[in-house]
Amino acid sequence: MIWRQCVASAVGTIVALAAALGCVDERTDEVAGAALYERHCASCHGLSGQGDGPLATSLTVAPADLTSLARRSGGSFDESAVMMAIDGRLLVAQHGPREMPVWGAVFAREHVGEPFAAYGATLDASALADHLRTLQVE
């Protein structure tokens, strides 16, 4: 009898975890990515991502057209490369002395004091990359 209760409890826990994992609202990441983009990127890259933001003309190097990232990488969106450019792990030659801020450091500062703060910057970079994926044109 106790064995059956343990099995039933374990099955119930597994079902609850599976349901919880399957009920992630993907729109939350989309909204977070769009908000991060508007706050941190649109002033240079423009709301549409074409490099035509209000600060673009004041930069020594024109901001990249972010709508063509997939086309420039052979037709597929390279999320790893995009995240590395966002968080500073990949030096973008066109940025020269890195006019584009290292957003990984900025995002990390924004999560100081939060539980699992070390992951906050990575999650922000991922949400931002997900948003950039939606801006791609053929």
Contact between 128 and 37 (Cβ < 8 Å): yes
Query: Which pLDDT tens digit goes with each residue over 48-66?
Result: 999 999 999 998 889 999 9
Provide mean pLDDT across the span 119-137.
93
Largest CA distance in the chain: 75
Question: H-helix or E-strand containing 86?
Answer: helix 79-87
pLDDT value for 20: 45
Topology classification of domain 25-134: Cytochrome Bc1 Complex; Chain D, domain 2 (1.10.760)
Question: Which of 59 and 100 is assigned the larger pLDDT?
Answer: 59
Q: Over pLDDT 70: what percentage of the chain?
A: 70
pLDDT value for 68: 96
CA 5, CA 54: separation in Å to the nearest integer? 64
Task: Give the tokens for residue 108.
Answer: 């990390």
Number of other CB atoms surrounding residue 66 within 10 Å: 20
Provide mean pLDDT across the span 57-76.
93
Task: Give the tokens for residue 75.
Answer: 């037709």
